[in-house]
Chain A
Amino acid sequence: MSLSPLQLCLLFSSALFCVGLIGALARSNTILVLLGVELMLNAANINFIAFWRFGPAPSPATGVMFVVFSIAVAAAEAAVGLALVIAIYRHQKNIRLQEAVRLKG
């Protein structure tokens, strides 16, 4: 069975999404969870580029434009996330998620 470039790209992006999701759910270090989320966002970006490059795209640059914006959003998200990580670090002197258990019930 031979796969077209689009199918290969989709397989790769799906694998990347799964790796990111597992990382985001299984890691206890907050920074590594952030990394997982970034991987998931980038998997979606690869999808956009692949569909734009290999699909019958009627509007010339839609996929690329979407990716440029979503990279900017991911950067903003990383900034907010790191700020919140610092806020947590100030109070509990580490960034392990297992120790962030003040709120429960």
Chain B
Amino acid sequence: MNPDYRQLLSALLPEASLVLGALIVLGVDLFAGRQRAFAPRVQLSSWLGLLAIAIAIYHAIGASPAAANFGGVFAFDALARAARVGVLLLAGFTLALLPGTSRLAHPAEYVAILLFATCGFTLMASAQQLLVAFLALELASLSLYVLAGFDKSRPESAEAGLKYFLFGGISAAFLLFGFSLIYGLTGSIEFTEIAQQLRVQPTTPLLVVAVVMILVGFGFKAAAAPFHLWAPDAYQGAPATSAALIASASKLAGFTLFVRLLWHGAGPAAGSVSSFTGAPGWLPVAAVIAGLSLLLGNIAALAQSNVRRLLAYSAIAHAGALLLGVIAAGSAGPAPLFYYAATYGLATIGAFGVIAMIDRISPCQRITDLAGLYRRSPLLAGCLFVYVLSLAGIPPLAGFFGKFAVFAAALKISGLGGPIGWLAVLAILLSAVALYYYLVILKQALVVPPANDAPRIAVPALAAITLVVVAALLVVLGIFPSRILTLF
């Protein structure tokens, strides 16, 4: 096999433009940014970063789906294309929120690391080999640790970064150990060859250990219970834009890689969850993790008084629902999972964007800090209304159809004849619980009057446009869900 490097270069143009863009941002800031005032420096870095992401989106859309896969290293199928464009859009929205909100000391470095993280996300979206998957995951994770700990002036940020890093490091070790066992069992690190080997092998205990270790690693990365402990601290302490990226683009890329690895690679070892006496494999383990995440996320969120921690626990609950989508992807394809992850990412970016805007005036940590948002900034209150209702899954917003597609796909597997059906029922019931804590946020923002000394919040133009576009996307995707659901 002689790989064609020109083809490889043309297929990886999005990643190339992201890395080049990051280097240009650093270079321009080094030579032109130092003598400028802070605000134009942030503007310059952000616009250069947005330009790099725009070029990457152009190349990602133009990438031919039939491009060679370079000896099974990459898969450039419809899922990869959609996931690449999706993570690029989500990262772009996050970056567009930066200029108005950031008081970070090194804006160019922040933008550059954000672009490196995005490069990791796009590689995760198309990886089809264990080594590339591991490297992409680590590129993304290491960048996110730095972004979480980026605000050197606040001890909370450093602590969030450190906790995220320690849990992430342990999860990376679990993942690598699982990968090494898979390599030992199958003699290959390519997903398709692994699947071929597993199809002829019996399910050995060692294989179960390997797959469970991979699930533990992914559970950490996706913040699924019982491996969720880092998430509330990271979301609370990290700068709001970093938290938005951790919660949105990283989730979408992670679950794309997850579904590809588990179904294309370890599919023959899936086992079964369609009946209570199903075959052992990774599906039952994933189902247990999904159920725990749904329960713990939704119930712990009820007790939160900090709005960022509340969003973190809601993220854990959504990770449970996304795992249901992973389980259902075997029969229904990745479309429901992708739609859910993408629309959830949009809504979270919006919610953290609103928090970031309030943060400009006064710290926004407790839910009561949102009080009277409808008078302080009607625009932010209106956008938050859309985001939170989409997170809660109210029709006609996109969050509802995401939940609907995933739960319907899960119920179609075996009706109520197996654990998967009852898990979907549990998820539907817990959505009602979730509505309560989402409405607590909205009550503060829309009903409770503001404190007497609370000033109005001026929203910078770029951030305002971004927030409105995100809200509009949630409405439009909610009215036309088939635009996404029929992509694959």
| Chain A interface residues (CB < 8 Å from chain B) | 17, 20-21, 24, 30, 33-34, 37, 40-41, 43-45, 47-48, 50-51, 55-59, 62-63, 65-66, 69-70, 73, 76-77, 80-81, 83-85, 87-88, 90-92, 100, 102-105
Q: In whole angstroms, how far apart are the Cα atoms of A73 and B302 in the complex?
A: 39
Mask of B321-337 contacts with A, CB within 8 angstroms, 1/0 = 00000000000000000
* Cβ-closest 3 pairs across A and B: A40-B173, A51-B184, A47-B180
12 new A-B contacts, CB < 8 A, other than A83-B146, A85-B162, are: A24-B169, A33-B166, A40-B174, A44-B176, A47-B181, A56-B187, A76-B142, A81-B165, A87-B162, A90-B152, A90-B158, A105-B305
Residues of A within 8 A of B9 (CB): none
Q: Is there a chain A Cβ closer than 8 Å to B304's Cβ?
A: yes
Residues of B within 8 A of A87 (CB): 149, 152, 158, 161-162
Q: Is there a chain A Cβ closer than 8 Å to B309's Cβ?
A: yes
Q: In whole angstroms, how far apart are the Cα atoms of A91 and B306 in the complex?
A: 23
Q: In whole angstroms, how far apart are the Cα atoms of A87 and B155 in the complex?
A: 8
Q: Beyond A88-B159, A100-B163, is A48–B134 a contact (Cβ under 8 Å)?
A: no
Contact indicator A84/B149 (Cβ below 8 Å): yes
Contact indicator A47/B184 (Cβ below 8 Å): yes
Residues of A within 8 A of B166 (CB): 24, 30, 33, 37, 81
Contact indicator B156/A102 (Cβ below 8 Å): yes
Contact indicator B134/A73 (Cβ below 8 Å): yes
Q: In whole angstroms, how far apart are the Cα atoms of A100 and B166 in the complex?
A: 13
Contact indicator B304/A105 (Cβ below 8 Å): yes
Residues of B within 8 A of A83 (CB): 146, 149
Residues of B within 8 A of A45 (CB): 176, 180
Contact indicator A48/B233 (Cβ below 8 Å): no
Q: Beyond A84-B145, A84-B149, A102-B159, is A41–B138 a contact (Cβ under 8 Å)?
A: no
Contact indicator B131/A59 (Cβ below 8 Å): no
Q: Is there a chain A Cβ closer than 8 Å to B60's Cβ?
A: no
Q: In whole angstroms, how far apart are the Cα atoms of A70 and B137 in the complex?
A: 12
Can you name 10 A-B pairs with beta carbons within 8 Å?
A41-B172, A50-B184, A51-B187, A66-B179, A87-B152, A91-B159, A102-B237, A103-B237, A105-B305, A105-B309
Partner of A58, one of B155, B179, B188: B188
Contact indicator A40/B184 (Cβ below 8 Å): no
| Chain B interface residues (CB < 8 Å from chain A) | 130-131, 134-135, 138, 142, 145-146, 149, 152, 155-156, 158-163, 165-166, 169-170, 172-174, 176-177, 179-181, 183-184, 187-189, 232-233, 236-237, 304-306, 309
Residues of B within 8 A of A17 (CB): 173, 177
Contact indicator B170/A47 (Cβ below 8 Å): no
Q: In whole angstroms, how far apart are the Cα atoms of A73 and B143 in the complex?
A: 12
Number of A-B contacts (CB under 8 A): 132
Residues of B within 8 A of A105 (CB): 232, 236, 304-306, 309
Contact indicator A65/B169 (Cβ below 8 Å): no
Q: In whole angstroms, how far apart are the Cα atoms of A37 and B188 in the complex?
A: 25
Q: In whole angstroms, how far apart are the Cα atoms of A77 and B166 in the complex?
A: 10
Contact indicator A103/B232 (Cβ below 8 Å): yes
| Chain A proximity of B304: nearest CB distance (Å) | 7
Q: Beyond A24-B166, A77-B142, A80-B142, is A44–B179 a contact (Cβ under 8 Å)?
A: yes
Q: In whole angstroms, how far apart are the Cα atoms of A20 and B152 in the complex?
A: 30
Contact indicator A44/B149 (Cβ below 8 Å): no
Q: In whole angstroms, how far apart are the Cα atoms of A85 and B188 in the complex?
A: 37
Q: In whole angstroms, how far apart are the Cα atoms of A52 and B420 in the complex?
A: 39
Residues of B within 8 A of A21 (CB): 170, 173
Contact indicator A103/B152 (Cβ below 8 Å): no
Q: In whole angstroms, how far apart are the Cα atoms of A70 and B145 in the complex?
A: 18
Contact indicator A103/B156 (Cβ below 8 Å): yes
Find the A residue at minimum CB distance from B209: A14
Which of B131, B158, B162, B173 gathers most chain A CB within 10 Å? B173
Contact indicator A40/B155 (Cβ below 8 Å): no
Contact indicator A58/B138 (Cβ below 8 Å): no
